[in-house]
């Protein structure tokens, strides 16, 4: 298969790995009669893949019918798909052929298949399993030889758990799954698509094509594009028609992305790009410091609680193991240890609490003097992680929740 020729034939733009894999699966499954379920977010271009499958199949000379299941009212969907007889319902003044009868020997594409009513799903399952269906208002069983390709943008597994979609129909449709990646997973394709849409708009309306400055390209690639290709096309057309200036900068692009927020719309971190790693580490560092301070407060609370428990015993003793006693001792340093624990028996151990009259319980938070320098804390954590994993940077990076490259850079910067 010549991948580029398939893309040109069906107007597909992009070179991302996920997109190429989806096209390759469609091409490979085309000569078979297996059912295909295409999944992906709204606006990613799922409608191109059933066309590829049909055109490269033995059914290419037969009918190809695309049906948007979500656009047909529930009361008429059975009639649309399977046909009806005259007088089957009010307004049925004539008999009518359904799509499965018309497309006999060809292909039917059921877009938004998860929107089908449960009763229609039962009928569809019968067609897939036996090739048989019955028109609305008829008792005659009819046969059809149709290949079914379905698509949806909803989580079908969730719909099954909510009893909105039949599990047996899902497995029947999902013989061969094809997942179309979202636009934010194809960041390198965004500029190609934008240029194509902008060029087509300029040619259609006979105006000079717009050009993007580097900062504008960065805005486009960092945006999450919830509407995917459809939204990108709209933005490209709007900018091309509305803007008088043909050289487009970041400020202009932002005006057409009203919900743009760099902190919220950046793609998920996957370990690429030095600038991305720096932002990631800064965010992780803030979280890490918060955890450390929370741990410190918890430790101080624990110290006070243990002391209060000891003080509340009127006989001055309490029973704990030696191991527990050791843990309690570690809670206190030389400056803030107001209690002397002396074991009287081995295990369990009875300790006598000896408090001198002039001893004063100190507020541990006032006594502890520790550096609050972010750089020192960062250096200390990296050193501990390296020590824990015997100097293995990969394991240490995983422990710290950062990339290995970021860890290597921090080691050099902080001279750990």
For residue 394, the SS3 value is: helix
Q: Mean pLDDT, to the nearest integer, of 215-230?
A: 94
What would the pLDDT profile of 15-63 be if each residue is shown by its tens digit?
999 999 999 999 999 999 999 999 999 999 999 999 999 999 999 999 9
Name residues whose C-beta falls within 8 Å of residue 316's C-beta, 6 or more positions apart in sequence: 352, 353
**Does pLDDT of 183 surpass 80?**
yes
Q: What is the pLDDT of residue 279?
A: 43
**Does pLDDT of 367 surpass 60?**
no
**Does pLDDT of 237 surpass 70?**
yes
348 prior amide bond cis, ω within 30 = yes
What would the pLDDT profile of 116-128 be if each residue is shown by its tens digit?
999 999 999 999 9
Q: What is the pLDDT of residue 397?
A: 80
For residue 354, the SS3 value is: strand
Name residues whose C-beta falls within 8 Å of residue 240's C-beta, 6 or more positions apart in sequence: 197, 198, 201, 202, 205, 207, 209, 210
Return the closest-CA partner of residue 33 out of 49, 13, 57, 14.
57
**Percent above pLDDT 90 for the chain:** 59
**Does pLDDT of 342 surpass 60?**
no
What would the pLDDT profile of 239-265 be if each residue is shown by its tens digit?
999 999 999 999 999 999 976 665 554
Return the closest-CA partner of residue 279 out of 403, 133, 152.
403
**Does pLDDT of 328 surpass 80?**
no
pTM of the model: 0.62
Domains belonging to the chain, first-starting first, are: 3-181 (3.40.50.300), 184-265 (1.10.8.60), 290-356 (no CATH)
Q: Tokens for 172?
A: 């029947």
Return the closest-CA partner of residue 115 out of 73, 157, 143.
73
- Cβ neighbours of 18 (radius 10 Å): 15
- 105 dihedral zone (left: phi>0; alpha: psi -120 to 50; beta): left
Backbone angles phi, psi at 77, to 5 degrees: -65, -40
Q: How far is CA 133 from CA 79, 138, 304, in A?
A: 12, 10, 76
What would the pLDDT profile of 298-320 be if each residue is shown by its tens digit?
777 676 666 666 655 545 555 55
Beta strands in 281-360 (DSSP E): 317-320, 340-343, 349-354
CA triple 35-40-43, angle to 5 deg: 120
Q: How far is CA 241 from CA 30, 39, 197, 398, in A?
A: 40, 33, 12, 49
- Mean pLDDT, the chain, rounded, equals 82
**Does pLDDT of 349 surpass 50?**
no
């Amino acid at each position: 298969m010549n991948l580029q020729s398939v893309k040109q034939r069906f107007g597909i733009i992009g070179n991302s790995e996920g997109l190429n894999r989806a096209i390759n699966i469609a091409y490979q499954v085309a000569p078979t009669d297996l059912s295909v379920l295409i999944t992906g977010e709204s606006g990613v271009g799922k409608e191109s893949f059933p066309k590829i499958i049909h055109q490269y199949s033995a059914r290419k000379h037969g009918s190809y019918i695309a049906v948007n299941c979500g656009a047909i009212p529930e009361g008429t969907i059975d009639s649309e798909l399977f046909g009806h007889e005259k007088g089957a319902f009010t307004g049925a003044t004539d008999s009518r052929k359904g799509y499965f009868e018309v497309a006999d020997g060809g292909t039917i594409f059921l877009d938004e298949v998860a929107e089908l009513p449960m009763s229609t799903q039962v009928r569809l399952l019968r067609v897939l399993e036996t090739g048989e269906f019955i028109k609305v208002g008829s008792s005659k069983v009819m046969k059809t030889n149709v290949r079914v390709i379905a698509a949806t943008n909803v989580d079908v597994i969730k719909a099954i758990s909510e009893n909105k979609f039949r599990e047996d129909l899902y497995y029947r449709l999902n013989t061969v799954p094809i997942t179309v990646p979202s636009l934010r997973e194809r960041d390198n394709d965004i500029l190609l698509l934008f240029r194509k849409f902008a060029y087509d708009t300029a040619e259609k309306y006979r105006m000079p094509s717009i050009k993007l400055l580097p900062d504008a390209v960065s805005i486009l690639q960092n945006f999450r594009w919830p509407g995917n290709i459809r939204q990108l096309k709209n933005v490209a057309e709007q900018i091309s028609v509305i803007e008088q200036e043909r050289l487009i900068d970041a400020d202009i692009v932002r005006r057409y992305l009203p919900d743009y927020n760099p902190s919220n719309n950046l793609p998920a971190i996957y370990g690429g790009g030095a600038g991305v790693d720096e932002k990631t580490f800064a965010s992780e560092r803030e979280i890490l410091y918060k955890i450390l301070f929370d741990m410190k407060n918890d430790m101080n609370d624990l110290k006070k609680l243990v002391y209060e428990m000891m003080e509340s015993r009127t006989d001055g003793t309490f029973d704990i193991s030696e191991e527990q006693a050791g843990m309690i001792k570690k809670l206190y340093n030389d400056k803030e240890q107001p209690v002397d624990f002396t074991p009287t028996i081995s295990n369990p151990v009875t300790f006598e609490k000896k408090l001198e009259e002039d001893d004063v319980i100190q507020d541990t938070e006032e006594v502890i003097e520790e550096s609050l320098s972010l750089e020192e804390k960062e250096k200390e954590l990296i050193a501990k992680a390296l020590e824990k994993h015997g100097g293995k940077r990969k394991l240490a990076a995983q422990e710290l929740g950062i990339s290995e490259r970021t860890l290597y850079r921090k080691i050099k910067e902080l001279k750990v």
